[in-house]
Amino acid sequence: MNSAPAFICWGKEHLLLYNDAFANIYHPLGIGQPVGISLGADWTGLVSSFNDTNKALFEQKLQLHLSTLKDHLGNACGVLGFGQNNSITKATVNTIGSNKEYRISEMVASAPFPIGIYVGREMRILQVNDAIIKVWGKGNDIVGKTYREVLPELENQSIYSQLEHVFDTGIPYHARNQRIDLMIEGQLSTFYFNYSFTPLHDVQGNIYGIMNTAADVTDLFLAKQQVERSEDEFRSMISQAPVAMCL
């Protein structure tokens, strides 16, 4: 049984990451190379020119379902693509969590950012990379568990409802500078993330899971807050000075 072809085209260099099924169909020259070099001119510009206008053109041309990936600033910086495989039926999609051949492990593991794949409405964790394991701080034994089991501290932080909405509607969700409190080594710690929940579709067009990409922007967010506080304090000092000051 063959899995559906899947790939990520990432960054200014348009670096290509993909699974075995993609390699068998499209025959790229190598993983981690610019997409134009690995696959040819037809694929060049997939990231930089990707928008709602030409999305349909690329999907028709490449025979792939495409979704935008965003960086820590919320800017489009990559594309997630899933193809079709006529040997995949709805029944086999329902067993995706236990079928190793469906795992796009090479692509996920090679991604230069936190990434996870969850299947079913219960959001059972199918695949994660080292980056997201480190962010969560829950250890390595998390594949096969549900998102709620691994991250129960998110119960009142709107994350579960966001995932359910994406799964039910097929509308991607993107957040910027979102505060998330995570339980790390028994202590609740505050972080700030930019993240996306992108629906994954089977060959019938049904949603079977969600891809989660993220960027930890805690240091950047706190530094920005500190600058803003310093500016406010400086303005306050000037306004309260007994002698007129100007810059």
**pLDDT at position 20:** 76
CB 201 within 8 A of CB 65: yes
What is the pLDDT confidence band of residue 26, given thresholds at 50, 70 and 90? confident
Percent of the chain beyond pLDDT 90? 21
- CA dist 74 and 177 (Å) reads 9
CB 28 within 8 A of CB 18: yes
Kindly report, residue by residue over 192-203, the tens digit of the pLDDT.
998 889 888 776
User: Helix, strand, coil % (nearest 5) of the chain?
Assistant: 35, 30, 35
**pLDDT at position 162:** 96
What radius of gyration do the chain's Cα atoms show?
21
| Whether pLDDT at 207 is above 60 | yes
| Whether pLDDT at 164 is above 80 | yes
The model carries a pTM of: 0.59
| Whether pLDDT at 152 is above 90 | yes
All domains of the chain in start order, with CATH: 6-240 (3.30.450.20)
CB 108 within 8 A of CB 128: yes
Kindly report, residue by residue over 119-143, the tens digit of the pLDDT.
889 999 988 888 899 999 999 889 8
Kindly report, residue by residue over 55-110, the tens digit of the pLDDT.
666 666 666 777 777 665 667 777 777 765 543 333 433 444 444 334 455 667 66
Mean pLDDT of the 31-42 span: 79
| Cβ neighbour number for residue 43 with a 10 Å cutoff | 23
What is the pLDDT confidence band of residue 19, given thresholds at 50, 70 and 90? confident
**pLDDT at position 92:** 39
- CA dist 113 and 33 (Å) reads 17
With tokens 């190379």, the residue in question is: 33
Best-predicted range by mean pLDDT among 9-13, 121-125, 215-219?
121-125
Distant-in-sequence, close-in-space partners of 192: CB < 8 Å, separation ≥ 6: 177, 178, 179, 180, 216, 217, 218, 220, 221, 222
- CA dist 86 and 122 (Å) reads 26
- CA dist 44 and 21 (Å) reads 21
Mean pLDDT of the 185-214 span: 86
With tokens 């080594």, the residue in question is: 185
